[in-house]
Amino acid sequence: MSKVRICEVGPRDGFQNIKEYISVGDKLHIIDGLIQSGVTYMEVTSFVSPKAIPQLKDAKEIVGTCLKKYPDVEFMALIPNLRGAQTAVETGIKKVAYVVSLSASHNKANINRTHEQSYNSLKEIMETYPQLDICLDLATAFGCPFEGKFPTSRVVEFLKDYVDLGVKEVCLCDTIGIANPAQVREILKALQTSYPQLKLAVHIHDTRGMGLACTLAAIEMGVTDVQSTLGGLGGCPFAPGASGNLATEDLVYMLNEMGFDTGIDFEKILNLAKEEIKLIPSGVYSGHHIHIDKTSKCFR
């Protein structure tokens, strides 16, 4: 039985777009439920300015509690800059995600940086905190709301400088949900050929209902780490009307039924998604089509 590790990113990517503050207690309740369901890998928050994302103002408290309570779970946090990396180190978290967009215009709109600035910032982080395990999240890897789709060669060329810098893991992010399985296979094959030493993961949004198909295509190409959010929460504010991420409960059901070993109990994760609906402010849920707050940052 092949193992597939699902990285639950709901506590960060799912919650960040919700305007009404979700209490620490409610967030920890969801995190506890995820772990009780069998989740062992989770992006739990982002060390970003509370002015940018007020929802994540409790990042230090959440991480401190999680690391103390669940020492065997791998927790990851997103960091936007050197300050975020410093906070990560201070809290004791060992793995972080750093985001850069393949699209120059999306990079500027999303994190207000040029490609050169993003590269230099990551270089500074890696030199200052070499102990951090860093996953590079490549946003708009499958297409951009401003520039459209890029040829596969562009993805390969763009990552060369980062691989040369020492990046060992890259998560390909379908930021606005326009990927298709053939495209996923093509990009992965090209990267596996060019950078066989690189660990690859995928983060697929479900805007056009292609989340399961594209994620499965990645798994069939040998990817063993895939990302999703409980209840399908999340979504990019630069894609008006788009739905959120691939729902974890849907992904678990498909993979478990296919005979993959996810380690996650479907009934428990499904019941938790139903609980989450009660905790999240009304108007956010509509099936898996999530209201998007266009004033917030999507990051990936």
Q: Give pLDDT, residue 236.
A: 63
In a domain? residue 284? no
Domain range for 65:
5-279
Taking CA atoms, 163 is separated from 68, 159, 179, 195, 242, in Å, by 33, 6, 23, 8, 32
DSSP for residue 261: B
Which CATH number belongs to the domain containing residue 217 in this structure? 3.20.20.70
Instruction: Exactly one of 66, 135, 171, 236 is catalytic; name it.
Output: 236
Distance of CA 217 to the CA centre of its chain: 18
The tally of domains found in the chain comes to 1
Q: Give pLDDT, residue 110.
A: 83
In a domain? residue 289? no
In a domain? residue 24? yes
Q: What is the mean pLDDT of the chain?
A: 91
Burial (CB < 10 A; 0-12, 13-18, 19+), residue 64, is: middle
Nearest to 235, CA basis, from 182, 275, 185, 177? 177
In a domain? residue 299? no
Q: Give pLDDT, residue 135.
A: 98
Active site residue 236: yes
In a domain? residue 290? no
CB 36 within 8 A of CB 71: no
Nearest to 5, CA basis, from 81, 87, 95, 65? 95
In a domain? residue 37? yes
Q: Give pLDDT, residue 31.
A: 98
User: What is the spatial distance between Cα 59 and Cα 183, in angstroms, rounded to a whole number?
Assistant: 35
Instruction: Give the residues of the chain that fall short of pLDDT 50.
Output: 283, 285-299
* Residues in the chain, total: 300
